[in-house]
Amino acid sequence: MILLGSTGSIGTNALKVATAFGLPIESLSAGKNIALFNEQIRRHRPKKICILDSEDLPKLDMPFIKAHDIEVFCTESGLLEMIESSQSTLAINALVGYAGLAPSLKIKQCGKKLALANKESLVSAGWLFAGYPITPIDSEHFGLWYLHTSRKIHKLYITASGGALRDMPLADLPSATPAQALKHPNWSMGQKITIDSATMVNKLFEVLEAYWLFGLSSIDAFIEEHSAIHALVEFVDGSITAHISHADMQLPIAYALDEQQAKCVRLIPRFDIATLTSLRFSPIDVRRYPVWELKPTLLAYPKLGIVLNASNEVALRAFLDSHICFGDISACILQSMRHFESVKTHTLTHLQDIKRLDSEVRAFSASWLGLS
C-alpha cells in the first residue's frame, strides 16, 4: 500500500495495523520528522519514499536506501509522482491540512482506493470527489458507515468530545494558551486536529465530511464527553442506532486497510459496557464554540468549506506560534466567512479555482490578524 504522512498520529497507527495484518508497504511519505522516518524505512522497507523538503535529503539514511534500491522523491510534486508510479491499489492519505488535497485528487485520478484521514480534502473540495468511493478514516464517519443499512435514513448524528477547553470558564477562553488547548481529554492526535477540536472547527469539518460522503444534509452533532458513542443514525421508521467503541483510531484504520481481517480480530481494548451509565449528552454551545453558528450556512453552501479551512489554517498556525490569542481563531474564521460570502454562488469546478480562492482567503485572514 501507499501511506502518505507515515510519521503522524494516523500514519504511525496505520503502520501498526499494516504490521498486524501482514500488509506490505510499497510507498511512504513524511514531512519533517526524518529521524522517525528513517526508523520506519528500516523497519518496513518500502520501495519508494518521499519527504517534504529537499534540504532534509542529507538526513535520510542513504546507505540503507541505496543498499535496498529505494527510490527517493521530494516536495509536493515528487509526492504526486510517487503516487502515480506506485503499483499499489490502496492509498492512505494521512497528511494534515490543505496539503493533502492534491495527493487525494492524484489518488483518485490513478483509480486507486482512497482511504482518507485527510478530511481537509473533502472540506476544501468535496465536490471534486463526487461519485468516487472513499473509505473514511475518522471515528464518526467510520461509525456512520458501520451503521449504514438499506433502510431509509432520516438524519445523521456525530458526537464531539468538546476538546481540551470544554470545562474552562468562559471568561478565560479567549486567552487560553497553546499548551492548554493541546491537552485533549480523550484522544491522542496531531496538533492541528487537537486545536480544531478545542475550537469545534473539527466538528464543522466532520459535518461537511459526512455531507460529501453520505450525500445527506440532515446532519447534527452534540457533545458526548467520553467519546464512547461516535455516531448515530436515525431512520425514517423512528429507530435510532448508535456506534459505540473504545476511542482508538486503529479500528477505522483496520477496516480501511483490510475489511476481511478487521472483522475477525480485536486490535483495540474491549469496551466496558458499564461506561454507558455515566454518559451525558449536551448541545454545542455557541458561546464556548462561536464557529458552531456556521453549521447551517456550511450545509446550505458547502463550497464555503474552502474559506473555513483556509482561514482556520492561517489562524491556527498563528495561534500555535503565539502571535494571536485562542479567541482570535474563531473571530478570524467568522470574519473571513462574512468577507467571502459571495463564494456561495461560485462554481469552482477546477483545482486551479480552488487554489486561487484558498490563496485569497489566506491573504485576507493574515492581513485581518495583522500578520502581514
User: By the criterion CB under 6 A, which residues form the site for ligand NDP?
Assistant: 5-11, 30-33, 52, 94-96, 99, 117-120, 138, 187, 189-193, 249
Smallest distance from ligand NDP to CB 171, Å:
29
Stretch that binds Mg ion, among 10-18, 62-70, 130-138, 182-190 (CB under 5 A): 130-138
Q: Which is nearer to ligand NDP, 70 or 122 (CB)?
A: 122
Smallest distance from Mg ion to CB 191, Å:
15
3-state SS, one letter per residue, for the chain: CEEECCCCHHHHHHHHHHHHHCCCCCEEECCCCHHHHHHHHHHHCCCEEEECCHHHHHHCCHHHHHHCCCEEEEHHHHHHHHHHHCCCCEEEECCCCHHHHHHHHHHHHCCCEEEECCCHHHHHHHHHHCCCCEEECCHHHHHHHHHCCCCCEEEEEEEECCCCCCCCCHHHHHHCCHHHHCCCCCCCCCHHHHHHHHHCHHHHHHHHHHHHHHCCCCEEEEEECCCCEEEEEEECCCCEEEEECCCCCHHHHHHHHCHHHHCCCCCCCCCCHHHHHHCCEECCCCCCCHHHHHHHHHHHCHHHHHHHHHHHHHHHHHHHCCCCCHHHHHHHHHHHHHHCHHHHHCCCCCHHHHHHHHHHHHHHHHHHCCCC
Q: Which is nearer to ligand NDP, 7 or 368 (CB)?
A: 7
The residue whose Cβ lies closest to Mg ion is 138
Query: Does residue 224 belong to the site contacting Mg ion (CB under 5 A)?
Result: no
Smallest distance from ligand NDP to CB 355, Å:
15
State the Cα–Cα distance between residues 308 and 365, nearest whole angstrom. Answer: 11
Q: Which is nearer to ligand NDP, 2 or 189 (CB)?
A: 189
Q: Which of residues 140-159 bind Mg ion (CB under 5 A)?
A: 140
User: Which does residue 5 touch among ligand NDP, Mg ion, none (CB within 5 to 8 A, set by kind)?
Assistant: ligand NDP
The residue whose Cβ lies closest to ligand NDP is 8
Return the C-alpha cell found at 114.
482512497
Smallest distance from Mg ion to CB 140, Å:
5
Q: Which is nearer to ligand NDP, 6 or 88 (CB)?
A: 6
* CB 220, CB 157: distance < 8 Å: yes
User: Which does residue 313 touch among ligand NDP, Mg ion, none (CB within 5 to 8 A, set by kind)?
Assistant: none
Smallest distance from ligand NDP to CB 149, Å:
24
Q: Which is nearer to Mg ion, 137 or 306 (CB)?
A: 137
Between the alpha carbon of residue 197 and those of residues 189, 320, 341, 353, the distances in Å are: 10, 14, 24, 29
Q: Which is nearer to ligand NDP, 207 or 368 (CB)?
A: 207
Smallest distance from ligand NDP to CB 336, Å:
20
Smallest distance from ligand NDP to CB 73, Å:
11
**One residue of 138, 248, 258, 328 binding Mg ion per CB under 5 A:** 138
Write each residue from 43 to 62 as x if it is in contact with Mg ion (CB under 5 A), else as -, in one continuous string: --------------------
Query: Does residue 120 belong to the site contacting Mg ion (CB under 5 A)?
Result: no
Smallest distance from ligand NDP to CB 220, Å:
19
Write out the residues near Mg ion by the rule CB under 5 A.
138-140
